[in-house]
Structure 1
Amino acid sequence: MVTPVLSAASSHIGKVRASNQDSGSVGNHLFVVADGMGGHAGGDVASAIAVKHLVGIDQAFENTDDAREELYRGILDAGAKLTQAVAEHPELTGMGTTVSAMVRVGHQMVIAHIGDSRIYRLRDGTLEQITADHTFVQRLVDTGRITPEEAAVHPRRSVLMRVLGDVDVDPEIDTHIVDTAPGDRWLLCSDGLSGYVSEREMAEILLSIDDPREAVDKLILASLAEGAPDNVTVVIAHVEEGFEHSPPAEPQIVGSASEPLTYETGPVTRVQRLPALLLHPLRAQPIADEHFEPEEGYLEELIEEDRQRLRRRRIVWSIGVVLVIGAIAWGVVASYQWTQTKFFVGEDDGVVVIYQGVQQNVGPFSLSSPFEDTGIVVDELPLFIQDSVRDTLPADNLEEARDIVERLTRD
């Protein structure tokens, strides 16, 4: 029986960065994406160290508990290696990386996650984000202070609350176990994909392309079509009937981890070329150090900044409401004043009366009122004139209305 290709991985530098700080790997059981941070201070080194260390646990596990413990311990050990690298190369101080990894154990996925790279599961046509972003804006969403739509464009959306690096010797890593079933499509990606390609488009690509290698390439092309201002790394794993694992064509490491590990530093941003700017003029380009952890007191400043932004938004909204209400009120007053320039001749209690306004009502309110009682009895007028008066005779102004009354008496 020929073993099908059920997983694949690829990484692209993007159109702006000068180096690829992403890393990823795909094996028979283990799948990893890591997005390095630290800019010239070693983001590529951080993600490479993490992925190179974790590929060692790509193996079949007897149960999910063993896999969960091994994956958790592997990420902690990778963090220790990052700390050691900084001790030996102080110029790398501040480097770190996100890690989103999963190990397949039969019909279950063991997941470990820190940072804002993501793991998705596509099932029955629905793409579901399995991991939660460890970002400042996600905390605002979780507490109901902003909406997911606002989070997507928030100016501080790249501030990480948790990351694997030399800043925390005991990082908090999320681990959990998720069931999987034949037909599921699993997607791991850095925010170079999730930050620029909609979940709807990602789902459409996964649904329309069966070959994971082609799907990986298509997703990266979708990010490039949006300008790809960040590195892009994608890993896909399919779950098929009769297979207890999701093998690739061959185990593969992509991104910075696929290169020999060096500790040289250098620039991280290329100047955007004119054609790219013309093709994507509205996409705000990120700063070189896209991800970073807040220093002490920084979050308090961001929270206060967010409060000020909320207050400004409320003030603008309130002013807008007042302006709309004012415009409506002005329109009502102006319309009413216009109606009062009109007159008509009609009947009131059997007498011919000149009315001011128009013969219409707005709800319970009449737009006309008796202006002048002529003293002419309607029943004393010719029959055809009586009918005209009862049906009302319009006039553009008071003088015209009085002329109509005068003609009634002559007739």
Structure 2
Amino acid sequence: MATVKASAAVSHVGRVRSNNQDSGYAGRNLFLVADGMGGHAGGDVASAIATRRIAEADGDYASAPDAAAALEGALIAANRELAETVAEHSELTGMGTTVSAVLLDGDRVVISHIGDSRIYLLRSGELSQISTDHTFVQRLVDAGRITAEEAMVHPRRSVLMRVLGDVESSPEIDSMVLDTREGDRWMLCSDGLSGVVSFDELHELLSADAGAKQVADRLVKASLDGGAPDNVTVVVIDIGDPPAPATPPLVVGSAAAPLAFGAAEPVRARGIRLAPFRAHPVQETHFEPDSADYFDELIEEDARRRRRRRLVWSLWIVLLVAAIVAVFVLGYQWTQTRFYVGESNGRVAIYQGIQQDLGPISLHELHTETTIDVADLRTYDQQRVEQTISAGSFSEAHRIVQRLEESVD
């Protein structure tokens, strides 16, 4: 039977956000990450309520199907509790949270997931992403409209299509039961990590010969080194022997601290004390309903954005080409104001333009061929004519020819 050898949970506010809306939980059999949304007074509340409620499913079960039913039921119950909280506190309308959770049951692991937090598995040196993001850009990737690399920088990469919250009474939750074995390393994280640190770097950090806590700390540091524009939460679970000693569950992020919001009288939501509300600026939410009509609308908006981008780039290209053509025309016109004295058919001649060529384009042409034989010139003057003598105008070139003619013996 697979057992938890070690586990760790670490959460950090990041380098930009003023508060931590993430929550993480590392218990005996249950491990989860929740990333709240809905502004300063909503995201932290949502992830904390969901984490506290789902943590009640941390226990032993007779079978993996029983564990799967309990975990998915806990997510549905958390969704209901969030809706009830919003009904009592209208200022929290629109708050929600992602949840990625794993529940160990013998040699099986039960997974429940909604949103864009992620679950990874490192097995035999190979790293795999187990969960699928419920985001607009992931839909675009699945539809073949953009690549995974383009999704990392897409302007709508933060738009969620599914979350727990006050939007749907029965949200669609991804659930699965997988095998686990000794030597497996599971990692759960919010998008504050996966949106900053590349897959290859995640693979390198998770493959390190280090304990779960050290690896979790290194992952958070990698996000901070990358700028950490969002909160970052990581839970690492190592499967193997000997089993970890019994310790109290570890709660990190907003679920580990008292929350303040709501009416004048404090209320309670499953162990969380809700003190009087303090006004804060509400940050832009990043959830939109997972409906076909809305998805088609976003697709069309994305297509319009691409068309506008192509139009702008086309305009810049046209302007660039026009500028290059203008420079070439003006440059060519300038060359035609220049003259030089050289040789043509053995005689001294005046050329219009400059001596150089621009690829196949000649920048000079014969203007006047004189009757002066180059062979009749003095040796010094012959060399000068063969090497060409520059002149700023035709009259200056004509004077040079006159001097050469006067020097003929």
Tell me which interval the TM-score lies in, with the shorter structure as reference length. 0.7 to 0.9
SS in 2 for 1:156: coil
Correspondence 1:358-373 to 2 at 5 A: 358-373=354-369
Match of 1:275 in 2: none
The one-letter amino acid paired with 2:287 is F
Of 19, 42, 55, 1:52 maps to 55
Please state if 1:80 is matched with 2:76: yes
Partner Cα separation in structure 2 for residue 216 and residue 288 of structure 1: 28
Identify which of 393, 399, 405 aligns with 1:409: 405
Q: Which amino acid aligns with 2:341?
A: V
- State the Cα distance separating 1:333 from its structure 2 match: 2.1
Structure 1, unaligned runs of 5 or more = 272-286
Cα RMSD, aligned residues only: 4.1
Other-structure match for 1:235: 235
Aligned 8 A contact 2:5 2:242 in 1: no
Aligned residues: 382
Equivalent runs, 1:10-409 vs 2, <5 Å:
10-12=10-12, 16=17, 20=21, 22-27=23-28, 30-38=30-38, 40=41, 42-44=45-47, 46-49=49-52, 51-56=54-59, 67=64, 69-70=65-66, 72-82=68-78, 84-85=80-81, 89=85, 90-91=87-88, 96-103=96-103, 111-121=111-121, 129-146=129-146, 148=148, 151-165=151-165, 167-169=168-170, 171-173=172-174, 175=176, 177=178, 182=183, 185-197=185-197, 202=202, 205-206=205-206, 210-221=210-221, 223=223, 230-239=230-239, 243=240, 247=244, 250=247, 252-255=249-252, 261-262=271-272, 264=274, 288=283, 290-294=285-289, 298-382=294-378, 385-409=381-405
- Give the counterpart letter for 1:52 in structure 2: A
Q: After the TM superposition, which of the residue ranges 324-333 and 290-299 deviates more from structure 2?
A: 290-299
Q: Is the contact made by 1:12 and 1:233 (CA closer than 8 Å) also made in structure 2?
A: yes
CA drift of 1:295 comes to 7.6
SS in 2 for 1:56: coil
**Shift in CA distance, 112/365, structure 1 to aligned 2, threshold 3 Å:** same
Residue type of the alignment partner of 2:289? P
Structure 1: which amino acid aligns with 2:88?
E
* Contact kept? 2:72, 2:173, Cα under 8 Å: no
CA contact (8 A) 2:163 2:171 kept: no
Identity %: 46
Answer yes or no: is the 8 Å Cα contact 2:47–2:98 preserved in 1. Answer: no
**How many angstroms does 1:307 deviate by?**
3.2
C-alpha distance in 1, partners of 2:177/2:313?
A: 42
The 8 Å contact of residues 37 and 95 in structure 2, kept in 1 or not, is answered as yes
CA distance in 2, matches of 1:244, 1:104: 15
Does the 8 Å CA contact 2:103/2:110 hold for their aligned counterparts? yes
By how many angstroms is 1:186 displaced? 3.2
TM-score normalized by the length of structure 1:
0.74
- Give the conservation status (yes or no) of the 8 Å contact 1:10–1:217: yes
> What's the CA shift for 1:329?
1.8
Matched residue SS, 2:58: helix
Deviates more, 1:139-148 or 1:304-313: 139-148
Q: Is the 8 A contact 1:25 1:51 kept in 2?
A: no
Amino acid across the alignment from 1:27: R
1:45·1:263 contact (CA, 8 Å) conserved in 2?
no
Deviation at 1:117, TM superposition (A): 0.3
Measure how far apart 1:353 and its partner are.
1.6
Cα deviation for residue 160 of structure 1 reads 1.3
Q: How many Å separate the matches in 2 of 1:391 and 1:21?
A: 78
Hey, what's the Cα distance between the residues in 1 that align with 2:353 and 2:125?
A: 62
Q: Gapped runs of 5+ residues in structure 2?
A: 258-269
CA contact (8 A) 1:24 1:233 kept: no
In structure 1, distance between residues paired with 2:290 and 2:17: 27
Equivalent-residue separation in structure 2 for 1:346 and 1:377 (angstroms): 11
Code of the residue aligned with 2:354 in structure 1: it is V
Q: Deviations over 1:299-355 (max 9, x none)?
A: 455444333322332222112212221222223223322322322222222332211
| 1:371 alignment partner AA | H
**Residues 361, 124 of structure 1: CA spacing in aligned structure 2 closer, same or farther, 3 A cutoff?**
farther
SS of the residue 2:156 aligns to: coil
Counterpart CA distance in 2 for 1:245 and 1:163 is 37
Write the deviation string for residues 195-245 of structure 1: whole angstroms up to 9, x where unpaired. Answer: 455556655654567122233234445556777665432101235xxx368
- Looking at structure 2, the residues matched to 322 and 156 of structure 1 have their Cα atoms a distance apart, in angstroms, of 29
| CA deviation after TM superposition for structure 1 residue 173, in Å | 1.0
Q: More displaced, 300-309 or 111-120?
A: 300-309
Secondary structure of 1:119's counterpart equals strand
Does 290-299 or 325-334 show the bigger shift? 290-299
Partner AA of 2:51 in structure 1: A
1:237 counterpart SS class: strand
* Partner amino acid, structure 2, of 1:261: G
Q: Take 2:100 and 2:36, find their aligned partners in 1: how far apart are those partners?
A: 12
Q: How far apart are 1:19 and its partner, in Å?
A: 6.5
